[in-house]
Amino acid sequence: MRLSSMPLLLAVAALAACGGKPAPEQPKPQAEQPVAQSRVNQDSIDAANRAAEEARNKAAADAAAADAAARAKGLAGEVASMIHFDYDKSDIRQNDQAVLDRKAAIMGANPGLRVRISGHADERGSDEYNLALGNRRAGAAKRYLEGKGVDGSRVDVISYGEERPLEQGSTEEAYAANRRDEFEITGGGDNLKAPQ
């Protein structure tokens, strides 16, 4: 015990030298006094360490939560992104297939997620025909998702025809913007997990 307290004495001496605290004036003939003092210092150091670690853990947890929230929001955004169509067509465009694949993957990773696909048309053509066209566009996206393994009961389909244009006007740009499917999360959209 006495021999092993040598490093302790040295440590205490070192601590006393760089701790900034004046060493006690009285001589230290006994080992117990420096041990008690060193324990007090060690305790406060440990406490400081623990507090710092807790703070670091909390910050890390907060950051992780913020990251997860941002990721979930990003995932929700990917689910809700629109796809567009050519005039009088309901075929899924080549470029949009990857977009739908991603939606299918996110739905696969989140079994509670439900969506409603709404199909839209530009203002040209018969008002009633555009309801059928919008319906076809929504149905095409649903069929694609089902083909990627999404259960049909999780996907609702509705047509708004030309009744809810995104852009007003009679320009080609407005027409192109309005020929679209929109995806609305109707359930299970909180805390989305990314697909693996």
- Give residues in contact with another protein (CB under 8 A): 88, 116, 118, 125-129, 131-132, 135-136, 138-139, 142-143, 152, 156-161, 163, 186
Q: How far is the CB of 120 from another protein (least distance, A)?
A: 12
Closest to another protein by CB, 110 vs 118, is: 118
What is residue 180's three-state secondary structure?
strand
Q: Measured between alpha carbons, how far is 85 from 120 in angstroms, rounded to an integer?
A: 9
Neighbours of 108 (CB within 10 A): 15
Q: Measured between alpha carbons, how far is 6 from 12 in angstroms, rounded to an integer?
A: 10
Q: Angle at Cα 159 formed by Cα 166 and Cα 141, nearest 5°?
A: 90
Q: How far is the CB of 60 from another protein (least distance, A)?
A: 42
Closest to another protein by CB, 84 vs 124, is: 124
Q: Measured between alpha carbons, how far is 103 from 141 in angstroms, rounded to an integer?
A: 11
Q: How far is the CB of 157 from another protein (least distance, A)?
A: 4
Q: How far is the CB of 134 from another protein (least distance, A)?
A: 8
Q: How far is the CB of 51 from another protein (least distance, A)?
A: 52
Closest to another protein by CB, 143 vs 193, is: 143
- Residue 160 has, within 13 A of its CA and on its CB side, a CA count of 16
The sign one gets for the Cα dihedral 168, 171, 176, 179 is: positive
Contacts of 176 (CB under 8 A, 6+ apart): 84, 122
Closest to another protein by CB, 71 vs 148, is: 148
Closest to another protein by CB, 131 vs 194, is: 131
